Each structure stands twice: as C-alpha cells, then as structure tokens.
Amino acid sequence: MDTNAAGSSAAGASDEKIAAIDSFRTSDLFTPAESAALELAEAMSRTPADVSDATFEAVRRHFDEPQLVELVATIAMENYRARFNRAFDVEAQGLCQVRGVKPPTQLMR
C-alpha cells in the first residue's frame, strides 16, 4: 500500500480518503464506482481468488470493457508485486506519510 498510497496522494487523493481505505464500504468518501473497484480488488486478492458474478456485475455497471481490462490487469499486477515483496520480506519504504495516521512499521511479514 505504501507506493500505491504515495501515487494516489500525488494524483490528488486526500489523506482522509487514503486513511479510510479499510472502511470503503461504509465511508461516504468513495464513489459507487470506487467501492465496486475496491470490492473487485478484495475478491481478486483472496487465496484462492474468488470473484462472484454479483461482484463482477457491480463493477461492470461502472466501467466499460477497456476500463475493466485495465482495472483487472492493474489489480493482478498489484497482487503479483505484493506476493513477490512478501516472499522477499520487503518492508514499507515510508513513501507515503498520511497526516494523522501512524505509518506501519512493517508492511510485509
């Protein structure tokens, strides 16, 4: 999450929104499209990956086919990077400092 949060911050995401990512289902900071994309990301990140038809249909309501391909590819790449980093015990590099939120001391293992 470290590099992604830093990139999101640079792209204009507020510190509040980044800090609220864990509560995207109940937060009013996220649009329905963002919530659907985050739901898809969670489903794709499970082991084994389990994307229900309902989850995919919810995402499909907000994104066209090219956007869906890009979204799924991005989520898959992030899962690849996270698992690669975990195997090598790569820790967070402190790239994102959300004001008012204490950074994790260790992102991986």
Q: What are 21-45's pLDDT values in tens digits?
A: 899 999 999 999 999 999 999 999 9
Do residues 6 and 95 make contact, with C-beta atoms less than 8 angstroms apart? yes
Number of domains in the chain: 1
Q: 94 — alpha (psi -120 to 50), left (phi > 0) or beta?
A: left
Residue 94 lies in a domain: no
Question: What pLDDT is attached to residue 106?
Answer: 42
| Residue 36, domain member (yes or no) | yes
Q: Is residue 100 part of a domain?
A: no
Mean pLDDT (the chain, rounded): 82
pLDDT of residue 1 exceeding 70, the answer is no
Residue 95 counted as domain residue = no
How far lies 87's CA from each of 47, 84, 109, in Å?
A: 15, 5, 9
- Confidence (pLDDT) at 45: 94
Taking the C-alpha atoms of residue 45 and residue 50, their distance in angstroms, rounded to an integer, is 8
Separation of alpha carbons 9 and 28, rounded Å: 18
Q: How far apart are CA 56 and CA 62, in angstroms?
A: 10
pLDDT at 95 over 70: no
DSSP labels, 73-87: HHHHHHHHHHHHHHH
Range of the domain at 73: 2-87
pLDDT for position 17? 83
Q: Is the residue at 96 inside a domain? A: no
Residue 102 within any structural domain of the chain: no
| 37 inside domain | yes
Q: 20 vs 91, which has greater pLDDT?
A: 20
78, part of any domain = yes
Give 2-18 pLDDT, tens digit per residue: 555 545 555 567 788 88
**What pLDDT sits at residue 5?**
52
